[in-house]
Amino acid sequence: MIYRKEKNNISLKEINKKNILKIVIDVGQISRIDISRQLKISRPTTSAYIGELIEEGLVEEIGKSDSTSSGGKKAVLLQFRVRAGYILGVMIGVKNIRIALTDLGSNIIEIIKIPTEEWLGPDAVIDKLVKNIKEIIKKSRINKEEIIGVGIGATGLVDSKKGLVIFSPNLNGWNNIKLKEIIERKIGLPAFIENECRVQAIAEKKYGLAKNIKNFVCVETGTGIGTGVFIDNRLVSGDKGMAGEVGHIITNLAGNRVCHCGNTGCLETLCSTSYLLEDIADEMKKSGSSSRSSKSGLKLEDLYDLYNQGNEIATVNIDKNAEYLGIGISNTIKMFNPELIIIHGEVIKFGEKYLKKVKESVSKNTFPEVKDDYNIQFSEMGDNVGVIGAASIVFNNIFDLDSSSVAGHYIVKKIIT
């Protein structure tokens, strides 16, 4: 079955059905009587609308509750039917692309990870992406008609309204790429795109540490540094999708290392993991202390080991990296005053020792009066956080259940199957 949004002639009944659906999705498991109470709609009307939602395949009954209602009968519980449709969630990172097929609850059914090989340029990377999307659909044996859309998180400056990757400092040749249009044309499904860090923040808000947090910042670490910001429960994108580019805040005026964006002195030049790797490999080579760096080239995985083992060159550089990341975080704290900062990406594997250094640096560089008021944590969502967030943007766009103005109401409608 296919769901689509319709904007015209939304009736009160449709608004009520949408509100019922929103409660069922938000609460998880709920009875008809509790929905009727919460929405202040009569019980027979609530039951009739729920009957329609069950027929449309969006809501299902899941047995009786443990407690009894006021009439003494155990109420039948309802829940959102996550298998009412499927979503493709894609994350285009600097090193890897992940493609997942999920249900409407972002549960992963199939997932593949392929190298981005960004040096090939956008055409080749997108062709590879399209080929793999088609393959994952085939492998899953799910009808394409049951997939409601493709959500894509991409590293770089993304204008989600225009469906454009404006510029991606770490992907070769990605300038003004009409990614939404290309994917819709080549795959034949609605596509939605968003910046990588904002996709992670969306995932944290829906499923992760930020579920009940109004103001928070997700910090992506790795080759690039970026943030996804929620203020008062709203994702901050800025006019053209450039908000949160903390990695390119000029932090080192004396710096002469050229950033991936072309400027010098960006925070990214101080705490990108690719520069960290370069610095440690250089120092080891100079000191002649590592056989690893001279043989096959030092890898990030080696750094995790060296840091844990207390290797001196690695420790000095990685601690410095943590300090710079802390400076970046303290800058975002001053800008946005978040309750929670969630760190994502490659530095998580450096572990608690690294996190402690980041926290020390934040304390040192933030207003003394509030220096310890911030909760800074590593993400607990794992490597698939991006595809889960990307799938969530499709769900949020198609179902659009948070829209509260009547003029802005959309309703999910089943069309001919």
Closest separation between CB of residue 268 and Zn ion, Å? Answer: 5
Which of residues 175 and 289 has its CB atom nearest to Zn ion in the complex? Answer: 175
CA distances from 290 to 261, 279, 301, 314 (A): 31, 13, 15, 11
Q: What are the residues whose beta carbons fall under 8 Å from the beta carbon of 355, sequence distance 6 or more?
A: 322, 343, 376, 377, 378
8 A C-beta contact, residue 319 and residue 193: no
Question: How many Cβ atoms are within 10 Å of 361's Cβ, its own excluded?
Answer: 21
Q: What is the rounded distance in angstroms from the CA atom of residue 51 to the CA atom of residue 30?
A: 15
Smaller CB separation from Zn ion, 223 or 366: 223
Residue 292 one-letter amino acid: R
With binding defined as CB under 5 A, does residue 155 bind Zn ion?
no
Between 155 and 384, whose beta carbon lies closer to Zn ion?
155
Measured from the CB atom, the residue of 268 and 302 that comes closer to Zn ion is 268
# of chain residues touching Zn ion (CB under 5 A): 6
Choice between 36 and 332, CB closer to Zn ion = 332
- What distances in angstroms separate CA 197 from CA 154, 271, 324, one per listed residue? 8, 16, 19
C-alpha span between 77 and 107 (Å, rounded)? 21
Torsion of CA 125, 176, 395, 148, to 10 degrees: -60
Smallest distance, Zn ion to C-beta of residue 168, A: 12
Which stretch in 76-84, 151-159, 259-267, 389-397 sits in contact with Zn ion by CB under 5 A?
A: 259-267
CB of residue 269 vs Zn ion: minimum separation in angstroms?
7
CB of 250 to Zn ion, least distance (A): 8
Q: Which stretch binds Zn ion (CB under 5 A): 22-30, 100-108, 256-264, 316-324?
A: 256-264
Q: DSSP label at 266?
A: B
Task: Give min distance, CB of 274 to Zn ion, in A.
Answer: 13
Nearer to Zn ion, 51 or 238 (CB): 238
Tell me how far, at minimum, the Cβ of 170 lies from Zn ion, in Å.
10
Which pair of tokens denotes residue 77? 């519980």
- Dihedral sign from CA coordinates of 347, 350, 355, 361: negative
Q: In 311-351, where does DSSP find H-type helix? A: 312-336
Q: Which is nearer to Zn ion, 215 or 263 (CB)?
A: 263
AA letter at 232? D
Among the listed ranges 28-36, 125-133, 260-268, 376-384, the one in contact with Zn ion (CB under 5 A) is 260-268
Stretch in the footprint of Zn ion (CB under 5 A) among 61-69, 210-218, 258-266, 288-296: 258-266
- Figure out which of the listed residues 248, 344, 357, 359 binds Zn ion, where binding follows CB under 5 A: 248
Nearest to 169 by CA among 248, 267, 250, 271: 248
Assess 259 for contact with Zn ion (CB under 5 A). Answer: yes
Token output for 156: 């770089």
Q: Which CB sits closer to Zn ion, 261 or 381?
A: 261
Q: How far is the CB of 245 from Zn ion (least distance, A)?
A: 8
Check if the beta carbon of residue 35 is closer than 8 Å to that of residue 16. Answer: no
3-state helix, strand, coil in the chain (%, to 5): 45, 25, 30
Binding mask 268-287 for Zn ion (x = CB under 5 A): x-------------------
How far apart are CB 175 and Zn ion at their closest, in Å?
A: 16
Per CB under 5 A, 266 contacts Zn ion: yes
Q: State which amino acid sits at residue 68.
A: T
Residue range at the interface with Zn ion (CB under 5 A); choices 114-122, 244-252, 322-330, 392-400: 244-252
CB closer to Zn ion out of 208 and 328: 328
Gap between the Cα atoms of 391 and 164, Å rounded:
18
Looking at the Cβ atoms of 253 and 406, the one nearer to Zn ion is 253
Select the residue interacting with Zn ion from 133, 187, 261, 411 (CB under 5 A).
261
List residues binding Zn ion (CB under 5 A).
Answer: 248, 259, 261, 263, 266, 268
